[in-house]
Amino acid sequence: MSEKPLSTRQQKILQFTQGYMDENGRPPTIREIGKAVGINSTSVVNYNLGKLEEKGYLDRDPDVSRGLRLTEKAGAFSNSVNQATAAVRNAVERLIKIPLAGDIVAGKPVMTGNDTFGTYDEEDAVELSRAMLSEKPEGLFALRVRGDSMIDAMVNDGDIVIMKPQYEARNGDMVAVWLRNDTTTLKHFYNEGHQIRLQPANPTMDAIYVDPAEVQIQGRVLMVLRQAP
């Protein structure tokens, strides 16, 4: 039969006792433990210390006010807690926020009124782990996709694309482009010399052909974040 896990209260008592001993070089008193973990009754503290003793986490000398001694089992517990805490801290520290700059249309280009994306508040952001990115996070921005012209490239309406800002592209790159008539779109880019072909990834839609002078690339898609339906 497996051992019943420690209660939250018992875990707090162990953690406080270990920290107190590390800092002061001696065990805490019953009252100090109760104050630290929010237990007003010394009998309740004693009850939980008894349970910890039964489970092998500590030894007690009932005739001494600071008669607690933590066992190796308690040390192993503290190490596991510290490791878990460090893992959570590292995971949080490795999260980066990428600003959600606005919407981009994966369909027919739509009028924007200017050459920037600005439908979201500056505090809007997408959180990602650094390990998910193949590029340095500096300068990256996110756009929410509207439309279904890129569905064969696994980009659906409502998905979020992580963009690397750049003003040039290679043939086949999926890019956000601004056209001189104040429209934006998300398409595969192809430079055919005398014209630029903006190719959808949807067999029901036609390519868009524009003069090279009319196209301004704003960024290349690095990653697609699928949104649950």
Question: Over the chain (229 residues), what is each successive 10-residue block's mean pLDDT?
Answer: 76 88 88 90 89 87 78 76 66 74 72 49 73 76 90 91 91 91 88 93 92 91 83
CATH 1.10.10.10 fits 8-92, yes or no: yes
The residue type of 1 is M
Q: Are 149 and 201 in contact (CB under 8 A)?
A: yes
Ranges of each domain in the chain: 8-92, 96-225
Token pair recorded at residue 46: 């004693």
**Residue 119, pLDDT score:** 53
The residues pairing with 97 across neighbouring beta strands, listed in sequence order, are 127
For residue 35, indicate whether it is catalytic.
no
Which residue is associated with the tokens 């600071």?
66
**Residue 138, pLDDT score:** 79
Please name the residues in contact with 182: beta carbons below 8 A apart, sequence gap of 6 or more.
111, 112, 113, 114, 115
Q: Which residue among 97, 108, 164, 187 is the active-site one?
A: 187
The fourth-level CATH superfamily of domain 96-225 is Umud Fragment, subunit A (2.10.109.10)
Q: Which residue among 51, 65, 149, 164 is the active-site one?
A: 149
**Residue 115, pLDDT score:** 43
For residue 65, indicate whether it is catalytic.
no
**Residue 112, pLDDT score:** 46
Instruction: Measure the CA–CA gap between 2 and 152, rounded to whole angstroms.
Output: 51
Q: Are 26 and 17 in contact (CB under 8 A)?
A: no
Instruction: Measure the CA–CA gap between 89 and 25, rounded to whole angstroms.
Output: 27
